[in-house]
Amino acid sequence: MTLSAQFLWLIPALPLAAAGIGALTPRSGRKTAAGAAILSLLGAFVLSCFALNGALADPTMHATYNFNWFDLGATSLRLGFLLDPLTAFMCVMVTFVGLLIFIFSTGYMKEDANSTRFFCFLSLFAAAMLGLLVANSLLLLFICWELVGLASYLLIGFWFHKPSAAAAAKKAFITTRIGDLGLLLGILWLQHAGGTLLFYDGGNGALESSVLASLAGQTVAGGLALSTAIGLLIFCGAIGKSGQFPLHVWLPDAMEGPTPVSALIHAATMVAAGVFLIARVFPLMSADLALTTVPVHALTVVAFIGAITALLGASIAVAQNDIKRILAFSTVSQLGYMMLAIGVGSWVAAIFHLLTHAFFKALLFLGAGSVIHAAHHEQDIRSLGGLRGPMRVTFATFAVGMMALAGVPFLFSGFWSKEAILHAAHLWDVSHLPFYIGLVAVVLTAFYSTRLVAETFFGRPRSPAAEHAHENSAAMTGPLVLLAVCAVLLGFIGTPAFPWLQAKLLGQTEIHGHSLFDGAGLMITSIVLVALGIGAGWAIYGRRPRANATARDPLEARAPRLFAALSNRLGFDEFYASTVFRLNDGLAIVSDRLDRHVWDGAVRFLALLGVFTGQVNRDTDEQGLNAGFTAASEKLRDAGKFYSQRQSGEAHGYLRTLAFGFVIVLLLVILGGAR
Amino acid sequence: MSPLQICLIISTLLFCIGLVSALTRSNAIMVLLGIELMLNAANINFIAFWRYGPQPEAGMGVIFVLFSIAVAAAEAAVGLALVIAIYRHRKSVRLQDAVQLKG
Amino acid sequence: MNSLPLLSLIVFTPWAGALLLALFPRLSAGPTRSLALFFSLSTLALGTTAVTGFDPAVTGFQFSEKHAWISALNVNYHLGLDGLSLVLVLLTGVIAPVAIFGTTKTSPQPSLYAALFLFLQGSALGVFLSLDFFPWFVFWELSLVPAFFLMKLWGGPIVARAAYQFVIYTIGGSAFMLLGFAALYAATGTFDFVELAALARAGTLATQLGALGSFWPQIVFLGVLLGLAVKVPMFPFHTWLPPAYAEAPTGASMFLTGVLSKMGFYGFLRLLWPLFPTQLQAAAPCLLWLAVAGVVLGAYAALRQTDLKRLVAYSSINHLSYCLLALFAVSASGRAGDPASVAALSGAVLQMFNHGLSAAALFYCVGLLENRSGGLRGLGDFGGVRTGAPVLAGLCGIAMFSSLGLPGLNGFVGEFLIFRGVFGLAPWAAAVSTLGLLATAIFLLTFWQRVFHGPATGAGVNFRDLDADEIVTLLPLIVLMFVLGVFPQLLARLINPLVTTWASTLPLQ
């Protein structure tokens, strides 16, 4: 069976419905919410497999289904769905890993009173992530991209009563939003210059040759090609979401969320969305490669950022003590590898590593979750130790994950995907620096992953919690085992001898394998480096296990200042606090002051002016104009009073006056000589 | 003495009686009566001047008197009503008691 | 349909309700609310009737009513409806009943409260539907009266000052506008918007005004601009708004921010732009940066507020500045028929509606916090409210994310279109304005984090969750946020032809 692009929306719609159910279920309906979430994701997984089946039938096709969202001017705003091998592989991975993590969560979150909400948020996340994958429009992708950020925010802050969790959630949202603003500007610019946000639209899409040619042909400030500028802005979004230098600071803090969240969102899927985005718009990112006069190519920037992040993450991970933080920095570092791969032009290697990494990192996180759950939320590896005995399944699967991460040769998937990246970096003709950085990071990765396993599982238990730890239920170990199997097997879909995945992704119908000995020199080098890292890690941490929880780290004893700097994450947080935050606060203070004093002051001044004018007016009226009038009025009133007092009320008096007056009139008439 | 002079003398006497009565009596009714007397004195003058005047054929004097009598009747009615009202109010018709109408 | 004066009914039914309620000052809270709700909902019902009879493709005015009023002055009672008015009538029809339902019962003297509220509602509707300056100005000024008394009688502790400032500032602004229109009348002999706009399109308006004196076109433009800028409010004429919104009672805040704040921008679209296109175009580059300042500084000023109501008030300044940004960018470019102009103007109209929904919901939530805690509304007065009141936290969170423009909720569509349009017309203004988006996210999340998250402290201890009435109040707003976020076509359908016509005909030169 296959699933056509027209019905691709069903894949995100299923978990979305589950999220709706979860949101409306009362707190006691934990099983309903969990059941809906798991069933919907199972359905989405099956549909994804159908979609993959359809996509593999013709890997060169970009099957699209575009529709009108709403009217805008003479045309309308269009969104769409896209089905190609990239989408299909990602969907299958997300739904499968997600499904296992959902199942694991039923065990892990059993005691949490709010677990109904937890499954609601998880489903929301899955819906948004799958929507991001199937989008055929940068706008739809951005919409889902932000929703993924929201789900991540809600889940990091799931234990919201912990202030640190609430703060970490906010930090994650804000930091990624800084990158998203770049992405938004990129989208706006692409819309303006290219006229469309659809990826593929029958020859008119933003990733198709006609638009790309026009974008690459224009020059903007600094001599950059327009496509470079847009590509770099879009890359800003990926930097934020995928925890790349310099916006990686949120990812370790995001570990405040429940461990399944860390596994699903901050290791396997969401953080890989940035890599997916850049892989998706790879035609745009690489549109400027043919130009020789431009100062920089977009992909060059991607490669260097990726290399820096890979080294940075790996080195900081060496000096961390929190089991989840180590894994978080390891994720930062591995995402750097993926970006490095895209930057050197091999986006298929990046996707290969993305897929293998999703499985083994989810495995490591769930293993860490299993440890944390068993050890009553003890996360500090200095206080753990000796868990190899009581937690056999967890140890075995964790070890598989660790070897995949370190790149132990041949059997483990991480080896093949990392090898593909290093191979691509080696062949890059712009600079060899990223390649050498990548090699250094290989050593560090092997070292810190050995340290992690040695400290956690070997030696003696160093705390009561670790002593009483015991293996978890099947709901938790089952997914571990499945993931461990995948972490081994998945490597074989992309070995140099049989690069099936790469061929499908690139839309090649025939698979051109080559002998393993072609790149043997490089492979041997990296095997030696891995051995060096593991050997050093074992020598330092394995042979002489830590005596107690408070003992100094051997590395700390050797190079205290370097260790302190690394364990302080090289001071990025402090640096931002003293620059960006200060600037932000300063701007806030300035605008507040402006409001309170300058603008409001002007208004008050005007009001005072009005009051003053009124006062002057009143005084003039009262003292000047009105003075004589008042006096005259008073006189008139006095006269009236005088006359009224003459009225006695006695009728005889009146009559007398009348008669008297009559007589006087009579006399006047007579004496006046009137005729 | 001509008839006119006799009439004038009578009316003068009548007027004086009325005036004295109006000015001296304290009973409000008597004062009213005095005023009526004065009005009638004036009426006699009207009739006399008409009868013995230059144009006795024009009925002017009679019309004046008729108006005057009508007014006097209305005035008496109003005056008596006032007197009754005052009496109801203060059980007296002495004018000296009704001095509330001062300004 | 022609026989029924639909628009007059829309305007005067709330007034009839106000009159009826004023006759029964002792009516108890329950019947008062039902009665007021009935009259208030009439707007929504009649507005929906108008939608069914409305033809979006006709870009002129529909359902017109025109009767001579004062024939000596050529004043007509002229009502008319186009897509823009219709959207605002619907917005009023949603916000007013919600505010009445949510706040009447808890107010002292509910009958007087509801009567004033209905009076306010009718006045606002009159502004949105009048097409003659005279009745328009009457409605415009009349709306201040009930607003003033609602604030003064039911407001917070220092409301007197805020209320006086609000009324005097606004009247001060509209005095200049009145003067401007007196000059217009002297020059043209008509108050009718449609006729004036036709004159302006023909280019004779400026000539006729110029006959009074060469500087008169500019003077009149500035007068009208000032009157409207105060009302919107445009940066830097916005200082009356935070105290007024903060001190007004919850219901009045909801209506002020939801509906009354739209009157100013409506005036920009209905009066200023059609009548003075050339002057606006000349001033627009300057005004554009004022709008950017409103977007950025408004959001940043909100970051510093510790009073929750003032915080939401500043977010209103920020959101309305987006609308102004869109209009000024379009006007400044002066390019006819640019698709970017269509996007910007559509965005501005949608933004008006969306901001009404989200700001009203936010004010209601803050009002609830204030009520429950006995008048506290400081950012630091609460903590961990979500523990006791998960429903309130959830609904407030949705309103908040709508306000910060999260895709999937209504706020995003308007903001995206505005940014898309403005970027095409004035890229730097759009780029700087994105800072406003960032600051909005920061202050709203800080609000949520401080009030709802963390351990329960202060007034947040044992916080009572929403009761059925309160949920019913918020639900229509929340549902609309989702519906319009996913199907913006519902509104876009009504305004798109109109906006397209604006973009293609209005800009001159």
CB contact under 8 A, A173 and C342: no
Q: What is the mean pLDDT of chain A?
A: 83
Is the per-residue pLDDT at A516 higher than 70? no
Q: Are C36 and C100 in contact (CB under 8 A)?
A: yes
Contact across the interface for B103 and A655, Cβ inside 8 Å: no
pLDDT-derived band at B102 (thresholds 50, 70, 90) equals low
User: Does residue A518 have a pLDDT over 80?
Assistant: no
Query: Could you tell me which of A388, A404, A573, A587 has the C-alpha nearest to residue A489?
Result: A404
Chains touching C (at least 3 CB pairs under 8 A) are A
Q: Are A359 and A487 in contact, with CB atoms under 8 Å apart?
A: yes
Closest CA to A516 of A505, A527, A508: A527
Under a CB-based contact definition with an 8 Å cutoff, are residues C376 and C288 in contact? no
**Are the Cβ atoms of A655 and B23 closer than 8 angstroms?**
yes
Size of chain B, expressed as the number of residues it contains: 103
Q: What is the CA radius of gyration of chain B?
A: 17
Say which of C301, C406, C449 has its CB closest to residue A166: C449
Q: In percent, how much of chain C has pLDDT > 70? A: 99
Q: Which residue of A has its CA nearest to B99?
A: A649
Confidence at residue A517, expressed as pLDDT on a 0 to 100 scale: 63
How far apart, in whole angstroms, are the C-alpha atoms of residue C468 and residue C108?
A: 21
Q: What digits encode the pLDDT tens for the residues C212-266?
A: 777 888 888 888 888 888 888 888 888 888 888 888 888 888 888 888 888 889 9
Q: What is the 8-class DSSP label of residue A66?
A: E
Window A:495-554, CB contacts with C under 8 Å: none
Instruction: Tell how strand A75-83 and strand A63-72 pair up.
Output: antiparallel
pLDDT surpasses 80 at A635: yes
For residue B56, give both structure tokens: 């006795």
% of residues, chain C, pLDDT over 90: 3
Cβ A301 vs Cβ A554: under 8 Å: no
- Chain A contact set for C449 (CB, 8 A): 157, 166-167, 169-170
pLDDT digits (tens, 9 = 90+) for A280-332: 888 888 888 777 777 788 888 888 888 888 888 888 888 888 888 888 888 88
Per-residue pLDDT tens over the stretch C74-130: 888 888 888 888 899 999 989 988 888 888 777 788 888 888 888 999 999 999 988
pLDDT, position A674: 57
Q: Please check the confidence at residue C507 and state whether its pLDDT lies above 60.
A: no
pLDDT at C1: 43
* Residues in chain A within 8 Å Cβ distance of B23: 652, 655-656, 659
Percent of chain A scoring above 70 in pLDDT: 98
Q: Which of A548, A547, A567 is nearest to A556 (CA)?
A: A567
pLDDT at B15: 92
| C509 confidence band (pLDDT: 50, 70, 90) | very low
Say if CB A438 and CB A309 are below 8 A apart: no
Q: DSSP letters of A292-325? A: SSSS--HHHHHHHHHHHHHHHHHHHHHT--BHHH
A647:B103 CB<8 A: yes
Q: Predicted confidence band at A476 (pLDDT cuts at 50, 70, 90)?
A: confident
Q: Which two tokens stand for residue A601?
A: 């002051």
Question: What does C118-155 look like in DSSP terms, one character per residue?
Answer: HHHHHHHHHHHHB-BHHHHHHHHHHTHHHHHHHHHHH-
Q: C350 vs C87, C131, C358, C490, C498, CA distance in Å? A: 8, 22, 12, 11, 13
Residues of A in contact with C241 (CB under 8 A): none
pLDDT tens for residues C391-448?
888 888 899 989 888 888 888 888 888 998 888 888 888 888 888 888 888 888 888 8
* Mean pLDDT on C192-211: 81
ipTM score of complex: 0.88
Grade residue A359 by pLDDT with cuts at 50, 70 and 90.
Answer: confident
Decide: B and C in contact? Rule: 3+ Cβ pairs under 8 Å. Answer: no
**A185/C430 Cβ within 8 A:** yes
A655 vs B100: CB contact, 8 Å cut-off? no
The answer to whether A17 contacts chain C (CB < 8 Å) is no
Q: Does residue A398 surpass a pLDDT of 80? A: yes
* Tally of CA atoms within 13 A in the half-sphere of A54 that contains its CB: 23
Task: With beta carbons less than 8 A apart as the criterion, state whether C326 and C436 touch.
Answer: no
What pLDDT sits at residue B13?
A: 94
User: How many Cβ atoms are within 10 Å of A497's Cβ, its own excluded?
Assistant: 12
Beta carbon pairs, A and B, within 8 Å: 31
To the nearest whole Å, the CA of A591 is away from the closest chain C CA by 5
Highest mean pLDDT among B72-81, C275-284, C331-340, C431-440 belongs to B72-81
Which tokens hold the place of A95?
A: 């739904």
Q: What is the pLDDT of residue C32?
A: 84
Distance from C431 to chain A by nearest Cα, in Å? 7
Partners of residue A644 in chain B, C-beta under 8 Å: 103
Interface test mutation site (partner A, options B95, B97, B100, max chain A beta carbons within 10 A): B95
Q: What is the DSSP letter of A552?
A: P
**pLDDT band at residue C275, thresholds of 50, 70 and 90?**
confident
B62-86: pLDDT as tens digits: 888 999 999 999 999 999 998 898 8
User: In whole angstroms, what is the distance from residue A36 CA to residue C61 CA?
Assistant: 50
User: In the predicted model, is pLDDT for residue A27 greater than 90?
Assistant: no
- Contact between residue C214 and residue A578 where contact means Cβ atoms under 8 Å apart: no
Rounded to an integer, what distance in angstroms lies between the CA atom of residue C244 and that of residue A326? 51
Cis peptide before C108 (omega within 30 of 0): no
Residue A268 has pLDDT above 80, yes or no: no
> Is C339 in contact with A600 (Cβ distance < 8 A)?
no
Q: For an interface test with B, which of A652, A657, A662, A666 has the most B Cβ atoms less than 10 Å from its Cβ?
A: A652
